Chain A
């Protein structure tokens, strides 16, 4: 990853994180504000409902009081106070009175608690309401909730009791409203709010007892846990009821237990506020935040791209120039602009490049001089050997002509033979140098490296076991699955022969020549090892330098030829050696020249230079 990319991602992530944090913070704060607002709204609605409920209780008590004060009621009380009063006359009176006062329940009850007339249960005349004759100040009690038996089964009523006293007898007027869907429908509720009523008529939760304005509430079972909780602990509470996976359908309910005179739980009023509006607003805020994040992300990307480009431009220029320098353009320079760290870096780089260029010039000149000296030394050495016999032979000829003319013919014949031999030797020396200078380009063909190895070694087998020479044993560890490679078989064989000759020279006391091939990723690996005397690290460093040799009679061109052949095949060579142990050459050849699996030039350079094991 480039420096620019890294910088780009750092800038981007930093900006995204900042935008996301701000968006999240705004969302959380806004949500809390809305929740607080809705909580207050719900509290206000519940309070409003409570006021409505209280008003309804007052209305019921007032209606009962009005009935009590009516003339007909007073006349009934007077008539019933007489001895042998006939109560049957009034059996149907409650029905009409209850209708005119819009009460669901109305009972006229005698002094002994016997029902004289009942609107809801006209057939219950004569039955006694024992609870009514208890010593209770009904007028101060106001309205209260109680469980009633009706024709259609048990019911909950919001009841009030009043009485007319004539003499020592009371006529009780018990009136009220049924707590049910009609009651819910008559309540004034703000928009977004609904009221449910659970009638605690059975020992356990019954969904059919949960009512809304239209009758049994839909999906009433969802409320079972909350109703049961309130049944166990009849105190006000708040809970949320979700309807499916859509959070917008979630409602928050305030549970208000409805208690009777004995503090028994008769019902639970559920005042629900839809969370749809709040969740809708939350969603809008979240969408807005996501949009801000998305836009921020886009802007962040653009800004990061621009910022990274601007910041890294001098660095990239520096990198480009550094690459040019590495490729040999020692005259490349970085634009020195500004006084910051980048400017200082550019100036330092230019200065360093100038110094390196100067040093390189010095080094090249020094190496060139050294190479010429080495070449001169080697040529002098190579040429000096044949020149000395030539000089001696010519001097012998001169001495023979002047000193013993009779033997001149014989001396001349021998001397010319020597002269020709040495001249031929000189020719060979010159030929070898010429051959190195004229290394041919490889002619690629599909070859079997293992076959080349076996063929090359076979040429030397006679020499390995020559009489008077310590034997050399060859070992083959050749991979059978080695694929054919594109190579020049003659050149490879020549390089291999050089390596084998070197190995033989390195093992004057005999030893083991080991050849190993392995298949590696995209290339083959050839290892040629001997158990010879080994090389010093300094020798390893200079081993592939032309005209460098560690032998008395070598030209120093053998390994240079090997390196040239391997290099022409797109391969690489390295050496490992340890004094007294032996030397190993590692050759890596691609399946196809030009396809280099590891093209790193620095690595290649390092490998080409021999290494030494400690």
Chain B
């Protein structure tokens, strides 16, 4: 009996020890450097210096959000320097920045000691480094999420808060006839764009705002209608021809543009893809692909932001959307924007992040939110980590 008690006590002790060990392994731990890779090269963190492109601007905003929490409207610092969770400890413009944890951060010091951010890393390099555990965190293109998961990379995706749309540029004569714009809109197979190009990492878009945000996206059709497109083109007669511009450095937009070209050709419409970059000498296209990121989960604010871009670009009639607009007002504004076919929503897709195994308590940011690294901590027991930075 006594022997039984000893054995039982030993077993209980072992179980308790194992439980305590397990619980202590899951507890946030301070320390470590989070290795981050981004594609853009940020050359200046000065808010008064303009970014070279949208990619640099986004990356600059993310880094800025880690350093400062409050700014004056003119971008200057309000309050003490480094009001954010991190402070700059090393800065090599366009290549590398190291942010150290701000011990004086009002909401408490971040768990990690520092963030080591490598800039100018291509999507392929980021994916390879994630696979090789040479990086802890990197944003990867949505269309590569499935491939990344297939090679063992942890994937974290936000809500589909980015919109890919086709905008017919204002004043272009080739797109003056609404039937041409409608024919092109109807012949595009949005499901194919999502399923094959985005590898199902997103959703077909018929409206400007996603269903999860507005709740009314289902009221806008996303189905393709090549027969209807052909009928419209038959009404027009001849063989309309359009030039479709896309960002020359964006393979996703290039793929979508080529798919649109194929769909349009099948319907009898000639669309010529044209890569666009600053100073490439190409003429102004008739339409272009445009990416729009929601600045806020709130649909009215996001729609206002979208329209701010789309109205001048596509020559839409100015749409007034009040702050705190109702669902009906949002619907009306969206309907007014898309019914002229000057803006053709194509797909929503999320921000996708690749994480190493030791990154703990990461959650995908909401629209407009900076990367939430304050709560992230590194599990020292996870994976065979190498602290050595990237070359």
Contact = CB atoms under 8 A, between A and B. Distances in A.
B259 A123 contact: yes
A124 B189 CA distance: 11
Interface string B31-46: 0000000000000000
B266 interface: yes
* A89, A149, A151 — most chain B CB neighbours (10 Å): A89
Contacts of B195: 88
A86 B146 CA distance: 12
A248 B117 CA distance: 69
A123 B199 contact: no
A126 B192 contact: yes
Contacts of B266: 127
Contact of B255 (A86, A88, A122, A149): A122
B196 A125 contact: yes
Contacts of A122: 255, 258
* A122, A123, A151 — most chain B CB neighbours (10 Å): A123
A91 B258 CA distance: 14
Contact of A88 (B189, B200, B262): B200
A123 B262 contact: yes
A89 B261 contact: no
* B196, B259, B266 — most chain A CB neighbours (10 Å): B196
A89 B146 contact: yes
Contacts of A124: 262
Interface in A73-98: 86, 88-89, 91
Interface string B185-212: 0000100100111011000000000000
A416 B284 CA distance: 154
A151 B258 contact: yes
A413 to B, nearest CB: 154
A121 interface: yes
Contacts of B255: 122-123
A123 B261 CA distance: 9
A589 B255 CA distance: 115
A123 B259 CA distance: 5
Nearest to B255: A123
B36 to A, nearest CB: 27
A126 B258 contact: no
Specify the main secondary structure of chain B where it touches its partner.
helix
A498 to B, nearest CB: 116
A183 to B, nearest CB: 24
Interface residues of B, number: 15
Interface string A142-155: 00000001010000
A125 B258 contact: no
Interface in B302-345: none
Interface in B255-295: 255, 258-259, 261-262, 265-266
A151 B265 CA distance: 11
B189 A126 contact: yes
Interface string A122-136: 111111000000000
B196 A88 contact: yes
B304 to A, nearest CB: 33
A127 B262 contact: yes
Nearest to B273: A151
A361 B211 CA distance: 153
A586 B265 CA distance: 110
Contacts of A89: 146, 199
A440 B265 CA distance: 124
Nearest to A122: B255
Nearest to B195: A88
A559 B190 CA distance: 137
Contact of B196 (A121, A126, A149): A126
Nearest to B189: A126
Interface in A88-123: 88-89, 91, 121-123
Nearest to B260: A123
B262 A91 contact: no
Contacts of B262: 121, 123-124, 127
Contacts of A121: 262
Contacts of A125: 192, 196
Contacts of A126: 189, 192, 196
A309 to B, nearest CB: 87
Nearest to B147: A92
A151 B255 CA distance: 11
Contact of A123 (B146, B200, B258): B258
A91 B199 contact: yes
Interface string B126-167: 000000000000000000001000000000000000000000
Contacts of A91: 196-197, 199
B265 to A, nearest CB: 8
A489 B296 CA distance: 145
Interface string B62-89: 0000000000000000000000000000
Interface of A: 86, 88-89, 91, 121-127, 149, 151
22 contacts: A86-B200, A88-B195, A88-B196, A88-B199, A89-B199, A91-B196, A91-B197, A91-B199, A121-B262, A122-B258, A123-B197, A123-B258, A123-B259, A123-B261, A123-B262, A125-B192, A126-B189, A126-B192, A127-B262, A127-B266, A149-B265, A151-B261
Given A88-B196, A91-B197, A151-B258, 16 more contacts: A88-B199, A88-B200, A89-B146, A89-B199, A91-B199, A121-B262, A123-B197, A123-B261, A123-B262, A124-B262, A125-B192, A126-B192, A126-B196, A127-B266, A149-B265, A151-B261
Interface of B: 146, 189, 192, 195-197, 199-200, 255, 258-259, 261-262, 265-266
9 shortest interchain CB distances as A-B pairs? A123-B259, A123-B258, A91-B196, A88-B195, A125-B196, A88-B196, A126-B192, A123-B262, A124-B262
